[in-house]
Structure 1
Amino acid sequence: MELAYLCRLRGIEVITLTDANHLAEGVMTNRCKGSRDNIVR
């Protein structure tokens, strides 16, 4: 829940996160509902 709040993610977007989403720049988020994917610091 805290990760979802800090990264402005929906529940399904948090569930689909894996170790592969962790980058040196931040967390690569795969957005749903037509939003663009982005990196959250």
Structure 2
Amino acid sequence: ARQPEAEGKITKLLLLGSALAEATAIYGFVIGLLIIILLS
């Protein structure tokens, strides 16, 4: 990035995106486990 002021925004967006991806992965895992437990 050539603009120094834009760098902070980009970093925040990247962090937010990875945090959301991690959260959805964890939620999916938990929901999958719950479904397996409920069905068995």
TM-score normalised by the shorter chain: which range applies? under 0.3
Q: So what's the TM-score if we normalise by structure 1?
A: 0.17
Q: Determine which structure has more spread, i.e. the larger CA radius of gyration.
A: 2
Q: Higher helix fraction: Structure 1 or Structure 2?
A: 2
More contact order relative to length (CA 8 Å, sep ≥ 6): 1
